[in-house]
Chains A and B, each alone.
Chain A
Amino acid sequence: MTLSALGFAILVWGSLALVGAIFLYELLAVWRDRKKSRA
């Protein structure tokens, strides 16, 4: 089965969105680490 254009787009943009979500998670987690270590 060959991946359709829509499937390809979903894979690519979905991966980008996931990397973006991980980036936000990382920022939040690092900020929490710092807050905890200061407390």
Chain B
Amino acid sequence: MVTATALLGLVVVVLVAFAALGAWYARGRIETIEDYITARDSTGGGALTATIVASSMGAWILFSPAEAGAAFGGITAVAGYAAGSALALAAFALLGPRIRDLLPEGHSLTEYAYARYGPAMYAYVLLVSVAYMFVFLAAEFTGIASALSLIAGVPGWQTAAVVGVTVLAYTGYGGLRASIVTDTVQTVLILPLLIVSVVVTLLALGGTNAAHAAIVDAEPSLLAVGSPSGLEFGAYVVVAIVGAEMLNQAWWQRVYAASDEGTLRRSFLVAAVAVVPMVFLAGIFGPVAVGLGLVDAPADASVSFFLVVTDVLPDPAVLAVAVLAVLLVVSSADTLFNAIASVVTVDLPRVADLSDDRLTAAARAVTVLVAAAATVVGAQGYSVLTLFLLADLLAAATFVPLLYGLYSPRAWSGGVLAASAAGLVVGLAFFPPARGVLPLSVLPAASYFVSFLGAAAVSTGLAVVTARLGDRRYDLDRLGRDVRRLDEGDAMADGSGGGEGR
């Protein structure tokens, strides 16, 4: 049995090593706010691919795909999870160059929303984006606290505090550059650790044939290819993930951090390929846990991965899995700390006249606040699933109208806001948790499938239709003129935002 002290000691050693690496690398490299939140044109293919993989693959891959595999449609549902994760990254291989072309000196999606659509859409996108990123962060902290508690009984507050403080130490100091360099090393460790964890577990189970036989004996439907429940889950999870990730500032930062457009495209595509087997390998632990008879209650499904690991692996291998989980959390947490800080910081020049030094200090202060909040929430052990789904739904109703403005000069603020609102109304009407609080019993049965696909379809349709109304034309070249570097004298230009498009 791994003791809590031994495990926490190991985690502290790993985290301190990364804090030292991040701080050492960032030393002397953070001269302006641009270095802290954008690291513009600085990142080559290896580091960019690594930071995308590491940021995308949080501790959630040890929980959600396995839960999907155990409780929401078996191997087909896991495939849906993998497809959603990959499609979101692949989409940035297409969107990224467009974003860089139209806003070559940009920083964030909210900055784009303000310049393209004006303050109302900006406020809405800011709310949805920050809500999603913070819930993601809180879920990561909750997940690692739960994982170390399961493995060795480490109290949740201790795990959350150790992770929060050490990640804050290097991210607060070194910003995006520290995040990217630590992500690179973390990816180089995460990939082999995942391979070792899966191989050792399979060997302990007696090989893939034995694992397969156990699943067939217990619940053969989990191995059904194209099962209706799995397809339904897969479809809505693809929309949920793609929508939410389009509003994840971490990717917008990395679009600008890429050394050039070719590197950007290649790195997002390679990362998209990489996450498919990673999610799949983590996901098969769900059906395996059912096959081993470890999932007694519905709540057990979400910790299937750790139930299998603690059941079949020897202590040294369990420690390796714990390190894997910590690396997954840290690599996402540093990304999200800096992403949330950057969204807030980029918008500050519009409301206050701050020097470059003060902007950097403000970004660091926001990072501290975000880290403190995530640590406190993560230590509570709340179930954040409903919040996560709600944030995903908001994003599903928003991402197409928002991004449509990158391509259509006819998209306008009132139209895209109405489209997003209508999509959200439809999504909420069929959102299962909403049925408990809204009087909607006259409608057909609620389902996540109808909710997410309805939100995305209605918002997309209305964004296109409203763009055809009237004769508005927005000059897309204005985006490049309105959005400027933050370390120039008149950063953010005059803050006038989009004119004709509104």
With A8-B208, A8-B211, A15-B280: A1-B224 Cβ-Cβ less than 8 Å:
yes
How would residues 270 to 298 of chain B score, 1 for a CB under 8 Å from any chain A CB and 0 otherwise?
10011011101100100000000000000
> Which of chain A's residues 1-39 have a Cβ closer than 8 Å to chain B?
1-5, 8-9, 11-16, 18-20, 22-23, 25-33, 36-37
- Chain B contact patch, size range: 35 or more
Q: Which residues of B contact A28 (CB under 8 A)?
A: 46
With A8-B223, A12-B284, A16-B198: A23-B49 Cβ-Cβ less than 8 Å:
no
Is residue B468 within 8 Å, beta carbon to beta carbon, of the partner chain?
no
**Inter-chain contact A19/B45, CB cutoff 8 Å:** no
Is residue B202 within 8 Å, beta carbon to beta carbon, of the partner chain?
yes
A4 to B184, CA, bound (A): 37
Q: Which residues of B contact A18 (CB under 8 A)?
A: 273-274, 276-277
A8 to B278, CA, bound (A): 15
Interface of B is mostly: helix
**Inter-chain contact B46/A30, CB cutoff 8 Å:** yes
| A3 contact from B75, B192, B195, B209, Cβ within 8 A | B75
**Inter-chain contact A26/B50, CB cutoff 8 Å:** yes
With A2-B216, A22-B191: A37-B278 Cβ-Cβ less than 8 Å:
no
Interface residues of B (CB under 8 A from A): 44-47, 49-50, 53, 75, 184, 187-188, 191-192, 194-195, 198-199, 202, 208-209, 211-213, 216, 220, 223-226, 270, 273-274, 276-278, 280-281, 284
Given A5-B213, A19-B278, A26-B53, 14 new contacts (CB under 8 A):
A1-B224, A3-B225, A4-B212, A9-B212, A12-B281, A15-B281, A16-B195, A16-B277, A20-B195, A26-B187, A29-B50, A30-B47, A30-B188, A32-B45
Interface residues of A (CB under 8 A from B): 1-5, 8-9, 11-16, 18-20, 22-23, 25-33, 36-37
